[in-house]
Amino acid sequence: MITLIEILAVISGAVFGVLTARRKGFDFVGVASVSFMTAFGGGTLRDLLLDRHPLFWIENSRYPIMVFVVAAIAAAIPRIPDSFQQFLHLPDALGLGLFSIVGTELAMEQNVSPFVAVLLGVITGSFGGVIADIVCNEVPALFRPATPLYATCSFVGGWLLILLKATTLDPSISFFVAAAVVFLMRLLALRFNIVLRKVHPP
């Protein structure tokens, strides 16, 4: 089940990376690079912090192939309609939900504390986008005060997964419920522009 969720997360991250790079007008190398960063950035950082080797995308060699194929297909499309950009948040929200839950679960398997496991889930879900934004010469959306709830959704989803795993609910259902909550929270935050209060300097 974790592998299935991770595959879906990688594909979602790759699609979001492709759309982000296309919006910037990058060539194929740029599109592929941003796709790899978005799909693997957060999980790589998680694995390094947990000292998990080999890294998840090296251990599962089909993942880089999947991302490369997604990038190649997207780069071959002459033009993506501007109206399609409004759907950019869908693969982003889906990837956030799936990666957050995978990251939390893998961290729990390493016997770290629940709080640290949730934080590593947040890192897995959000830091691929942070790396991609930096490469695209933008202030990461995660840190912008005007960005609707992002890491907060991941944080809530991680704790929900831990609570559900403490019940008799089937683990596969727990994974998908927690991921769905993150996905829906992110979409609602975008729809109603729900943001955290800005921290003003003294």
Whether the upstream peptide bond of residue 171 has omega within 30° of 0, thus cis, is no
CA separation (Å) from 64 to 31, 87, 152?
Answer: 14, 24, 28
156 assigned to some structural domain: yes
The answer to the question of residue 101 being in a domain is: yes
Domain assignment present for 169: yes
Q: Which domain holds residue 141?
A: 2-192
Please check whether residue 202 lies inside any domain of the structure: no
pTM (global) more than 0.85: yes
Buried b (16+ CB within 10 A) or exposed e, 41-69: bbbbbbbebbebeebbbeebeebbebbee
Exposure string of 139-170, with b = 16+ CB inside 10 Å and e = fewer, is ebbeeeeebbbbbbbbbbbbbbbbebbeeeee
Question: pLDDT grade, residue 86 (50/70/90)?
Answer: low
Mean pLDDT computed over every residue of the chain: 91
What digits encode the pLDDT tens for the residues 158-191?
Answer: 999 999 999 999 998 999 999 999 999 999 999 9
Q: Which 8-state DSSP code applies to residue 86?
A: G
The per-residue pLDDT for 163 is 97
Number of domains in the chain: 1
Residue 160 is assigned to a structural domain of this protein: yes
